[in-house]
Structure 1
Amino acid sequence: MASPAFPLRLALAAALLCAASPAFAQATRTWVSGVGDDVNPCSRTAPCRTFAGALPKTASGGEIDALDAGDFGPVTVTRSVTLDGRGVGRVLAEDAHAVVVNAPGATVVLRNLSLQGARSGLDGLRVLAARSVRVEDSRVSGFTGDGLRFTPDAGGQLLLRNVSSADNAGAGLRVGSLSGSAVAFLERASLQRGSQGLVVEAGGRATAYDVTASGNAGAGLGVRASGAGASAELNVERAQLSHNALALEAVGLRGASAQVRLSRATALGSSLAPTRLAGEGSLGSYGNNRLDGLGAAACTLEPAALAPAALETAYGPVELALRGGLGRAQLSLTGALPRGMQASGGVLEGTPTEGGDFPLTLTGTDDNGCSVQRSLVLSVPCPATSVDPDSVPGATAGEPYEGPLFSHTGAQAPSTLQLMGTLPIGLGLVDGRLKGLPTQPGTFLFRVGATDAHRCAAERSYTLEVVRPADYQDTTAQLSATPSPAAYGQSLTLTARLAVASGEPTGSVAFFATQGAGPERALGVAPVSARGASLVAPSLEPGAYSLRAVYSGDAHFSGAEAPALALKVSPAQTQTALASAGPVDLDTPARLSATVTSSGAAGTPTGLVTFREGERVLGSAALDAAGVATLEASLLGAGTHSLVAAYAGAERYLPSTSAPLAQEVRSARVEAQGCGCSEASAPGLASPLLLLALRALRRRRRTEGGERAP
């Protein structure tokens, strides 16, 4: 018979096991209640107080249900689970995310919940990692971030059915993935009064069916991606888009693809435009949509104006977009941008290193007939700078002068200086200061400008007084040129004569030439001797010139500038000579050569030579490096032909024509069908066509080896 103590010990052990099991076992279904406690086992009769308290006591793949109304607090989900508010459960999140899902490979279901941010919560639902998340019959509102943010790094799948996301500062729903593919399906979703309704970002792909987006500060539905290789896609079937700033937006920047495909959608009351396209963004319509305000007449460009940029400070990116467009937009920004700025991939951005105002033109077209243009100005203000000192000391004619160093105060080094106005002869800007031997008494007004590394400029006006010593003499100068007019290649001698009251001036004369509106060219400097100076100038190109001579002055005689002298330089004369290699047979081309020469030191002519016999042009050839043009010419008929060569001329050379050249063409005998006859003697052979036929026959016979040339 068993001992009476054994059943008692067995019962005690069972009781201990039962008491210990709630601390270790996880239930497949747990409960929360507004009057529960997280120390409870989360059973129906002893519910927990929060989802966060119930989650560790719920098996993976299990379910947590709300028994009654209550606030069940923020929760971070790390495993597969279903949270069911049963229509009365609420998650209130102040200064936090309501629900965070960070459960790689897991399946998470949120059902019948109200996620509330009370105007201080961050995101309503934030998915960092999951295989799939399903949200059904739930409401999300009052968050400072996004209502629903599905951005798992490794990608995943989201299903929304009968969900409302409203009154959030961010997007109603945001979909995207950094390195994976985030796929979202929406059915009967309402996205209202956020910064955006639905925005699909890089790595995201969404399909929306029977959705409503209204009252959003940005786009009701949109896609946005940036960077080469990035893409975002949205397919819409049935949508009501009302009173958003933009109904639809497609933005693909810096080479990214962003596509929206739209069917059976209605867009009403958009405050800015029904659509917005930027970069590689495109909006495809199946033709069964009603988009109020769409059309070529309603297209506009943005930005309307450009904010000023700051030197050495990152600017932008500023998106270049077309409002009211359909299909794909083509946008271009033309004009000179400041250094460090670029406009590409749908954005204007960079770090400007150049100051000033830069006029630009923004142009946009689309696939629906839009064509618009807008003028813009990008201003990069320069800091306040100045040219110092504020004045320069006076000078004395005939005495060396060295003024103070000019500086660009407040500028970004290095700066370049530019002098504008008139200085006395003998004085110039050397190494940042006025320096030299001024030889012109009087008052001289000039300005010094400075431009720094940022191309920011400043200038200051100055007055320089040059005092005349008591014994200082005035000088006048007169300029002449020989020959005048001149021809290209001719030696040109310039002479400046100086007139003074007494004594012999010393110093030098500088000679200058200006052709038309071109820049002035220094020809050379000659010393003064016997009150004059002469210079043999280098050859001048053909054209009209204004010559100038400036006497430097010295310690006793003032500097002087001669009145300008007009000079015409014509092209050089040429001569053309025609020669040949001698008489030729009737069927042999004549080898002609034309040699074109120029007079003086004008060099070898270039250009074309045309060879003629009367009005008949035999051909043209270009002159080679030796000035010779050659041509092999076919002449018709035996006898003596009078030939000429006409050189067409060139910029430096005048045309010329050779004397006539008598070119002899000898008759040739041919045998035709056994008869020997001469081209010159055969009756009727004067016909050019017959002559050509006889020549062809003779060439054939030669090929066959049956005839030798006479």
Structure 2
Amino acid sequence: MRIALILAALAAVAALVLPAHAQNARSWVASTGVDGNPCTRSQPCASFSRALSQTNAGGEINCVDQSDYALGANIAIVKSITIDCESVQARFGLASAGIQAIIVEASASDVVTLRGIDIDGNNLSGVGIMFASGGALHIEKCVIRNFDTTSFNGAGIADSLLIGSTSELFVSDTVVTNNGTGTPGAGILVNPFVTSTVKVTLNRVEARGNFFGIKADATQVSGGVIQMTIRDSVSSGNTSNGIVATGNASGPAIVMMIDRSTSSHNAAGFGVIADGPKTTIRLGGSSIAGNINGVGASNGGVLQSYGTNQINGN
């Protein structure tokens, strides 16, 4: 049922993508832009949606100034592209209900980069960024917040592979907050729906005030592997577990490394927990404090410590 719901949502968003008349290697959006413009520096557009349609695959979209470039609507990214608004920290705020704000449903060789965007669900949408297909997705220096509706139970970032056999997600210098209302809602959720090798690297990420902070869920498909590295990151003040990896005997194996990170003051569950017979979490140089329970392993899961952690006050 959930796969059917997601596929229907993808089809609906794809139908909104404007016909491709791309001509720019670099396109521009601005607060004074008009979507009838060609999205050049001298004639910028008003929305990311229009700029995507005017930009060649492998091109770049930049922001002239700080503004909201969603115009209330979600977008689908179906090709290699960079949206770089780091210098102005653009906004992308939804004004109507939907399952996701941004869907990446690109080809297996495509690389997408999102940089310097404040993505706000305004408590109307289920997912901030959904990675449904593509070779690699880079999310850098972004804020993703307020995706906490009951559809999909909310997630700031959902690595939910629907097509393809491999993918890589890189998240760095990013905050995910106030996302998720219940299982499996999370600040960052990794839950592939096809047998695949999913690689995830989180570096200098802060997950706070979500339902789960960071969650790998291997219960949606048989076979495959989820490989995750979490480094120099914080998962704090979440409603449930801070960092959790959960699976079953038939699902993907989960191998997670947590290095120089903190999971603290999470209101229920564990700071870090490995659940399921094919789940392994390795923990080093990290602080686990102020949670209901510190660290744990259940249902055959394995949690290995390098002996360099501070696990106190739980």
TM value normalised by structure 1: 0.37
1:191 counterpart SS class: strand
Give the partner amino acid of 1:208. I
Shift of 1:276: 3.4
Please say if residues 27 and 62 of structure 2, whose CA atoms lie closer than 8 Å, have aligned partners that are also in contact. Answer: yes
1:104 paired to 2:113: no
Choose 1 or 2 for highest CA Rg. 1
Please say if residues 195 and 252 of structure 2, whose CA atoms lie closer than 8 Å, have aligned partners that are also in contact. Answer: no
1:174 paired to 2:189: yes
1:260 paired to 2:281: yes
Aligned positions of 1:211-222 closer than 5 A? 211-222=233-244
Shift of 1:293: 5.2
Distance 1:290 1:24 in 2: 56
- Alignment partner of 2:143 out of 134, 139, 142: 139
Give the partner amino acid of 2:54. K
CA distances 1:547-593 after superposition (whole Å, capped 9, x unpaired): xxxxxxxxxxxxxxxxxxxxxxxxxxxxxxxxxxxxxxxxxxxxxxx
1:183 paired to 2:194: no
Shift of 1:98: 1.6
Give the partner amino acid of 1:275. V
2:85 counterpart SS class: strand
Distance 2:78 2:145 in 1: 24
2:122 counterpart SS class: strand
Please say if residues 146 and 178 of structure 2, whose CA atoms lie closer than 8 Å, have aligned partners that are also in contact. Answer: yes
Distance 1:71 1:171 in 2: 25
Give the partner amino acid of 1:162. D
Give the partner amino acid of 1:156. S
Shift of 1:239: 0.8
CA distances 1:608-646 after superposition (whole Å, capped 9, x unpaired): xxxxxxxxxxxxxxxxxxxxxxxxxxxxxxxxxxxxxxx
1:122 aligned residue = 126
CA distances 1:81-140 after superposition (whole Å, capped 9, x unpaired): 001123331111242322110002210000011110111122111010010000111111
1:124 counterpart SS class: strand
1:285 paired to 2:305: yes
Q: CA 1:183–1:209 in structure 2 vs 1: closer, same or farther (change >3 Å)?
A: same
1:88 paired to 2:89: yes
1:163 aligned residue = 174
Give the partner amino acid of 1:57. Q
Aligned positions of 1:513-528 closer than 5 A? none
Give the partner amino acid of 1:95. A
Please say if residues 21 and 53 of structure 2, whose CA atoms lie closer than 8 Å, have aligned partners that are also in contact. Answer: no
Please say if residues 151 and 182 of structure 1, whose CA atoms lie closer than 8 Å, have aligned partners that are also in contact. Answer: no
1:31 aligned residue = 28
1:276 aligned residue = 296
1:226 aligned residue = 248
Structure 2 unaligned regions, length at least 5 = 1-19, 149-153, 219-224
Give the partner amino acid of 2:215. V
CA distances 1:381-435 after superposition (whole Å, capped 9, x unpaired): xxxxxxxxxxxxxxxxxxxxxxxxxxxxxxxxxxxxxxxxxxxxxxxxxxxxxxx
Aligned positions of 1:516-555 closer than 5 A? none
Count of aligned positions: 268
Query: Percent identical across equivalent pairs?
Result: 28
Shift of 1:34: 1.9
CA distances 1:506-549 after superposition (whole Å, capped 9, x unpaired): xxxxxxxxxxxxxxxxxxxxxxxxxxxxxxxxxxxxxxxxxxxx
Aligned positions of 1:145-544 closer than 5 A? 145-153=154-162, 154=164, 155-169=166-180, 170-177=185-192, 178-202=194-218, 203-228=225-250, 230-244=252-266, 245=268, 246-252=270-276, 256-270=277-291, 272-292=292-312
CA distances 1:173-206 after superposition (whole Å, capped 9, x unpaired): 1123231111011111101111111111224221
Shift of 1:227: 3.5
Please say if residues 201 and 225 of structure 1, whose CA atoms lie closer than 8 Å, have aligned partners that are also in contact. Answer: yes
Please say if residues 34 and 68 of structure 1, whose CA atoms lie closer than 8 Å, have aligned partners that are also in contact. Answer: yes
Higher RCO by CA contacts (8 Å cutoff, separation 6 or greater):
2
Distance 2:198 2:278 in 1: 16
Moved over 4 A (4+): none
Shift of 1:230: 2.8
Distance 2:21 2:232 in 1: 46
TM value normalised by structure 2: 0.82
Distance 1:109 1:190 in 2: 19
Please say if residues 198 and 222 of structure 1, whose CA atoms lie closer than 8 Å, have aligned partners that are also in contact. Answer: yes
Please say if residues 30 and 47 of structure 1, whose CA atoms lie closer than 8 Å, have aligned partners that are also in contact. Answer: yes
1:173 counterpart SS class: strand
Distance 2:303 2:122 in 1: 36
Which protein has the bigger strand share? 1
CA distances 1:335-391 after superposition (whole Å, capped 9, x unpaired): xxxxxxxxxxxxxxxxxxxxxxxxxxxxxxxxxxxxxxxxxxxxxxxxxxxxxxxxx
1:521 aligned residue = none
1:72 paired to 2:78: no
Q: CA 1:25–1:235 in structure 2 vs 1: closer, same or farther (change >3 Å)?
A: closer
Shift of 1:163: 0.7
Structure 1 unaligned regions, length at least 5 = 1-22, 295-710
2:89 counterpart SS class: strand
1:72 counterpart SS class: coil
Shift of 1:25: 5.3
